[in-house]
Chain A
């Protein structure tokens, strides 16, 4: 990961200092900004590969920052927020943030999120046709799902929900986003649909539906599926 540029937008100096050390140790170049304005200038001039953004900036709402940034850049943004501020996370995610981390966070957790986002960025560009998580392969053009090489029967709503989830590639999709994409506008508050269909998907695709490994719910925020793009699905061989 050497040579990559990380931009830290955070107004607390001690946190900036520690993060700078951590990222330097990992071989990143580090740029820092204490305000959203500076952050915007830095992201324009240094084209960071990754932005760590505190939501409690002094000059501009973090959500505004993301919205503005998203007009010209798709640089991954990891948002740092306080626990309990689920509403804020949802707004940040809807504005275009890629993931969030609750303060205080452990460094290993931070690095894991960062690597996951950078890895996904590699394959960015075109939307994938095939996705894989665990022993499940989702073939979107073929409208089929295989688990352990066997076809799993999904209803069309289940399939649409699964497609939305895998396409986010590990990013959290907010509840209202999923509800509107899968059930249509006007259903943004029908959270029980999501609960029921997530349970269906877990039952059909997870080894232990009560302790899912891939189809996860972030309470109060949304759902995520830890799926990756699969290049060549050798489905024919099976």
Chain B
């Protein structure tokens, strides 16, 4: 409404000014005053108010200043000059209005460019998605005077009355910018789309900064834990190493002494070793249970793992008949060889401790349908079912290692009586064949 009122005001002003100037310039010159009023009106308030000011101006000029005064009557030639005056007023007004619109357009464009630049600058300093939202919303408010909203749920459907602009970022769409549905010009849409993708980029950057921060924190936690465990391991093992070496050298000093004395030192040495194994198992168990443990998987052969475990427990198994049966079809196993060997060592320890000396132990490996089973059969009294649930550190570690490989540890009865423990390792990959080889050396 305001432009129309202003056009009327300038028209009234022109009439007043004309009466004041009539004595000085003469009536015929006053037409220029009305022309000026019409041009000023259209240059400032648009085409409509300009035409209004032009038409009213011509009528007023005719009524007040063209004889006979205070009447609309005009003679032929005067009508022509009045119509010409009206035509000129409207035409100049039209030109002035175009100019005004172009200036307005340029100003808006500059405003939008400035708003975009300001938002980009502010985004680079933002460290939370809330900050990003408020930067975008403020930017749009300043540029359009519109109150927008941002939803970080990319799948949310826009409500009626709102237009949605997706927050597109290189990795994925991070949400939507919601703007009240009003008539938007193409360049305004462009601006909102740009604002939405700038917002998406900023949100994605913050997302990855957070991801990197979390990973760093987790890594530091893991590093700290593994440092504590390795310090603990070193501190616990050092005295054990001293004791064992001391007992061994004592044993050497006792050469020629009573056999019973030497038997005692051997017993102490064996207990120290056992203690050391317990410490090792305990540390390994806490390492596995603290999570985040990376298995060092590579290709291992069941035969080698069994042999490695037997060599580690050679003295413990003295006087027993040991048999190893690895079926021809057992493939290489993709596993953490050191840990799986530890399982077998613990199973051997368990068998040695719970079966009478001299009874045989059988180790075997079989493959069936994507699972490799490595087992141990002894000829003792079998697992004590009454103690179920408290199976000791050694077997707990075996179970933890099996589970870390997505496998299981099964306890059962061996076919010839005695206990059977089976480590089942699921296998979902086969080793690639080594290159074909022709000929002999």
* Contact surface of A with B, Cβ cutoff 8 Å: 12, 14-15, 17-19, 21-22, 25, 56, 80, 82-87, 103-108, 110, 143-145, 153-159, 189-193, 195-199, 209-212, 216-220
Contact check, A189 vs B298: say whether CB atoms are below 8 A apart. yes
Q: Does B369 have its Cβ within 8 Å of any Cβ on chain A? A: no
| CA gap between A117 and B8 in the complex, in Å | 113
Given contacts A191-B299, A192-B299, A219-B338, whether A210 and B242 have CB atoms under 8 Å apart is no
List, in ascending order, chain A residues with CB within 8 A of B305's CB.
219
Q: Does B68 have its Cβ within 8 Å of any Cβ on chain A? A: no
A156-B440, A211-B324, A220-B296 provided; 8 other pairs, C-beta below 8 A? A18-B242, A56-B234, A85-B230, A110-B245, A145-B441, A156-B437, A199-B303, A219-B305
Q: Does B207 have its Cβ within 8 Å of any Cβ on chain A? A: no
Across the A-B interface, give the 3 residue pairs with the lowest CB-CB distance, nearest first: A107-B248, A159-B441, A192-B299
Given contacts A12-B242, A15-B241, A143-B441, whether A22 and B307 have CB atoms under 8 Å apart is no
Mask of B69-94 contacts with A, CB within 8 angstroms, 1/0? 00000000000000000000000000
List, in ascending order, chain A residues with CB within 8 A of B242's CB.
12, 14-15, 17-18
Contact check, A82 vs B248: say whether CB atoms are below 8 A apart. no
Q: How many chain B residues touch the partner (CB < 8 A)?
A: 51
Mask of B301-330 contacts with A, CB within 8 angstroms, 1/0? 101111110110000000000101010000
The distance from the CB of B44 to the nearest CB of chain A, in whole angstroms, is 79
Can you name 16 A-B residue pairings with CB atoms under 8 Å? A15-B245, A18-B249, A82-B233, A103-B238, A104-B244, A107-B248, A145-B441, A158-B441, A192-B434, A193-B434, A195-B332, A210-B306, A211-B307, A219-B305, A219-B341, A220-B337
Given contacts A15-B241, A84-B284, A216-B311, whether A155 and B296 have CB atoms under 8 Å apart is no
Contact of B238 among A12, A144, A190, A196 (CB under 8 A): A12
* Contact surface of B with A, Cβ cutoff 8 Å: 230, 233-234, 237-246, 248-249, 251-252, 269, 272-273, 276, 280, 283-284, 296, 298-301, 303-308, 310-311, 322, 324, 326, 332, 337-338, 341, 431-432, 434, 437, 439-441
| CA gap between A144 and B441 in the complex, in Å | 8
List, in ascending order, chain B residues with CB within 8 A of A143's CB.
441
Contact of A19 among B240, B245, B322, B332 (CB under 8 A): B245
Q: Tell me the dominant secondary structure on chain B's binding face.
A: helix
Given contacts A195-B304, A195-B332, A211-B324, whether A190 and B245 have CB atoms under 8 Å apart is no
List, in ascending order, chain A residues with CB within 8 A of B252's CB.
22, 25, 107
List, in ascending order, chain A residues with CB within 8 A of B439's CB.
155-156
The distance from the CB of A209 to the nearest CB of chain B, in whole angstroms, is 8
Given contacts A22-B249, A192-B432, A198-B304, whether A104 and B332 have CB atoms under 8 Å apart is no
| CA gap between A210 and B309 in the complex, in Å | 12
Nearest-neighbor residue (CB-CB) of A19 within chain B: B245
